């Protein structure tokens, strides 16, 4: 079975209530102005892309990484942005969303086109693109994976300790209140909270308020519920493709037939997952709330984002050298000043065997 056949077979199993790949694409509205944090995020994304590009080309003799995705420096507020933006929307409708990097076998690499084909027209590069063995979408994150996981582990342990202490406090100092026939059901709830079950227990806060002790008891139930909720919360960072992007990524795959992958560059590690594996997660409704979440994301204007925990991905680099950074002043055509951060240098060291496993290749 071809890669395209595999993708289409999986897509056919995904409920249209989750993602409707056949629905007409709604063209995004042109932004009226850019903000400093938007440009900083773009600069960080460009840095992450260059980190992966150099790491691949420095370590591989069998493959060459080539810059492919749109990377124009023009932003909302610049002259010519409206035409650029509409042209980009036209391209999304025509061929889909270009991945940032293409990976070619060294024998297929075109010296005359060079390491950056992002500015070439489709008439020049489309047949060349079809020779790629992989398209890589590079995402960036401002987190340190190790630091975040240590923090969350400490937080979870603290919440477990707090929850068990609150449970014991209620059962020792407020048990007389719970022995009332209308409240005794909470004794069973409390007794069911153990180290083994603590991440599965939930209840409704009763709302007691008739006297001071009942109010104190109710406040303890509120604190207990909060601790239990925090224990059940996500304790892992994620790879975060936008729902709307999956349809235009699929459009690109349907156009060129090249396997697609998401790489997430953190400031200490790099993780990856294939587009095929993302779709496979979405097929099984039992995976929602466990291996992935879908929610509005503040960093993406509350657009629906699929958050895939790192445990469902592959670590392909265990060390990242942080970049140098500096502030930049940018003056737009109409006189608006923007100040943002730009990134230089930095490097990552690939776990080649892990990367080969993700890409399904044997050489490097």
Enumerate residue ranges in the chain where pLDDT < 70.
32-33, 77, 296-302
What sign has the CA pseudo-torsion 90, 93, 99, 105?
negative
pLDDT at position 291 is 86
| Residue 294: predicted pLDDT | 86
The confidence score (pLDDT) of residue 358 equals: 96
> Is the alpha carbon torsion for 25, 31, 37, 41 positive or negative?
positive
- Between CA 298 and CA 303 the distance in angstroms is 8
The pLDDT of residue 40 is 84
pLDDT at 107 (0 to 100): 96
3-state SS, 155-170, equals HHHHHHHHHHHHHHHH
Whether the model pTM is above 0.95: no
Q: What is the pLDDT of residue 54?
A: 96
Q: Which residues, including other chains, have CB under 8 Å from residue 104's CB and lie 6 or more apart?
A: 63, 64, 65, 66, 131, 132, 133
Domain boundaries, the chain: 3-143+238-359, 146-232
Cα–Cα distances in angstroms (integers) from residue 334 to residues 39, 76, 330, 331, 340, in the given order: 17, 11, 12, 8, 18
Host H or E run for residue 270: strand 270-274
Q: pLDDT per residue over 93-139, tens digit each?
A: 999 999 999 999 999 999 999 999 999 989 899 999 999 999 999 99
Q: Please give the C-alpha separations between residue 346 and each of 180, 237, 265, 291, 322, in angstroms, as whole numbers.
A: 65, 22, 12, 31, 5
State the pLDDT at residue 299: 55
In this prediction, residue 36 carries a pLDDT of 77
Predicted local confidence at residue 77, as pLDDT: 66
User: 216 is written with which tokens?
Assistant: 């104190």
């Amino acid at each position: 079975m071809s890669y395209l056949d595999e993708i289409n077979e999986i897509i056919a199993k995904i409920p249209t209530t989750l993602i409707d790949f056949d629905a007409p694409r709604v063209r995004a509205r042109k932004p009226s102005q850019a903000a400093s944090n938007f440009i900083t995020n773009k600069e960080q994304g460009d840095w992450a892309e260059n980190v992966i590009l150099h790491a691949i080309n420095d370590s591989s003799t069998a493959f060459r990484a080539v810059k492919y995705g749109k990377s124009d420096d023009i932003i909302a507020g610049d002259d010519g942005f409206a035409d650029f933006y509409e042209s980009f929307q036209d391209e999304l409708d025509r061929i889909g969303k270009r991945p940032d990097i293409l990976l070619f076998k060294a024998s297929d690499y075109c010296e005359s086109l060079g390491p950056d084909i992002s500015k070439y027209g489709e008439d020049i590069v489309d047949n060349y693109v079809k020779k790629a063995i992989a398209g890589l979408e590079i995402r960036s994150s401002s987190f340190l994976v190790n630091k975040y996981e240590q923090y969350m582990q400490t937080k979870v342990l603290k919440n477990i300790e707090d929850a068990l202490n609150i449970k014991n406090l209620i059962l020792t100092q407020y048990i007389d209140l719970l022995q009332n026939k209308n409240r005794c059901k909470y004794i069973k709830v409390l007794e069911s909270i153990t180290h083994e079950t603590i991440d599965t227990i939930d209840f409704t806060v009763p709302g007691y308020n008739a006297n001071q002790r009942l109010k104190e008891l109710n406040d303890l139930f509120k604190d207990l519920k909060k601790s239990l909720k925090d224990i059940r919360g996500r304790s892992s960072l994620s790879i975060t493709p936008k729902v709307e992007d999956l349809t235009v990524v699929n459009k690109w795959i349907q156009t060129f037939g090249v396997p697609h992958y998401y790489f997430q560059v953190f400031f200490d590690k790099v993780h990856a997952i294939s587009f095929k594996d993302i779709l496979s997660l979405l097929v099984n409704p039992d995976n929602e709330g466990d291996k992935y979440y879908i929610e509005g994301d503040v960093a993406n204007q509350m657009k629906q984002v699929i958050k895939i925990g790192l445990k469902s991905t592959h670590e392909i680099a265990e060390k990242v050298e942080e970049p140098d950074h500096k502030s930049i002043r940018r003056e737009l055509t109409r006189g608006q000043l923007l100040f943002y951060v730009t990134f230089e240098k930095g490097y990552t060291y690939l776990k080649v065997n892990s990367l080969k496993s993700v890409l399904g290749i044997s050489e490097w």
